[in-house]
Amino acid sequence: MGDTAGLFCHDLCIHPAGHYVAIASTDDELRFSARHLVEFFDLRAKPRAIFRQCLPPSSDKGSQAEVLHSRFSPDGIYYACSRDDNTAQVWDWRWMAKDSKPFQAIKHQPPDRNSSRNTYGVAAMTWVAHYGPSSPPVLVTGGNDGKIIQWDMRRSDSHLLAKLETGVGTFSIGDRHKSEMPLIAGDCDGKLYIYDVRRGEDGRTAGTTL
């Protein structure tokens, strides 16, 4: 796709409308003045980026800050990407071409410096859509600190859903209206956790570890 040739693609996501795609890449030759960037394409138009945005550099000198996951919000307003430096950024993508500053900057804690564990960053991320169209956009991230946190975009607050024993490897948010378990998560030690986040403040009550 146009100028994307020669870049190393880490992740891509499709806008809910179906005709926009965002590609997060690494530019080793620094052709676009930053190591990491995201390009937005309109699939109805020519195969050239309608605009691109350089991603903020990492404050962690030991990390490459590569993009691990990227997602548009269900309402199509927000674009989020999670990175291997324990951060995630969220933009109102409609204004992203004019304002490079993230709408919200999310940070998970890195592992203890004395720990021998590897750092995987914000390895899991998803938007939650089943709370209804009138509810605020909700982003859920899972980090190397073992925390799974829910972030409210409109109120700029957060809520801890669960704390695993080691870094979060993956998680799934269930639809309670379909009798699904509210939260199932796996950590980097291969343990599976099943939570009912409707009980207790920290999401650990009625939890099962496999």
Is residue 113 classed exposed, middle or buried when 0-12, 13-18 and 19+ CB atoms within 10 A define those classes? exposed
In this prediction, residue 81 carries a pLDDT of 95
Q: What is the pLDDT of residues 65-123, one digit of tens each?
A: 889 999 999 889 999 999 988 999 999 998 888 888 888 999 998 766 555 556 678 99
Whether residue 169 has pLDDT greater than 70: yes
At residue 17, the pLDDT reads 92
Gap between the Cα atoms of 168 and 177, Å rounded: 25
Strand partners, 40: 22, 51
Q: Which of 96-105, 135-144, 197-206 has the lowest mean pLDDT?
A: 197-206
pLDDT value of residue 71: 95
Position with higher pLDDT, 145 vs 46: 145
Q: What angle do CA 163, 112, 159 make, to 5 degrees?
A: 30
Confidence of residue 134 (pLDDT cuts 50, 70, 90): low
pLDDT band per the 50, 70, 90 thresholds, residue 205:
very low
Distance of alpha carbon 194 from alpha carbon 181, whole angstroms: 7
pLDDT tens for residues 2-31? 455 567 888 999 999 999 999 998 877 766
Please give the pLDDT value at position 18: 92
The pLDDT value recorded for residue 200 is 47
What are the pLDDT digits (tens) for 42-53? 989 877 888 888
Look up residue 144 and give its two tokens: 């190397």
Distance CA 157, CA 152 (A): 5
Q: 0.85 exceeded by the pTM?
A: no
Q: State yes or no: pLDDT of 174 exceeds 50.
A: yes
Q: Check pLDDT > 70 for residue 138.
A: yes
Check residue 136 and report its DSSP letter. P
Q: With H, G, I as helix, E, B as strand and everything else as coil, classify residue 178.
A: helix
Q: What is the pLDDT of residue 73?
A: 93
CA distances 53 to 34, 73, 91, 99, 146, Å, are 9, 18, 11, 9, 30
CA-atom Rg of the chain in angstroms: 18
Burial of 71 (0-12, 13-18, 19+ CB in 10 A): buried
Place of tokens 């309608």: 50
| All domains in the chain, ordered by first residue | 2-173 (2.130.10.10)
Give the pLDDT confidence score for residue 202 in this predicted structure.
Answer: 46
Distance CA(41)–CA(132), nearest Å, equals: 29
- Whole-angstrom distance, CA of residue 141 vs CA of residue 164: 13
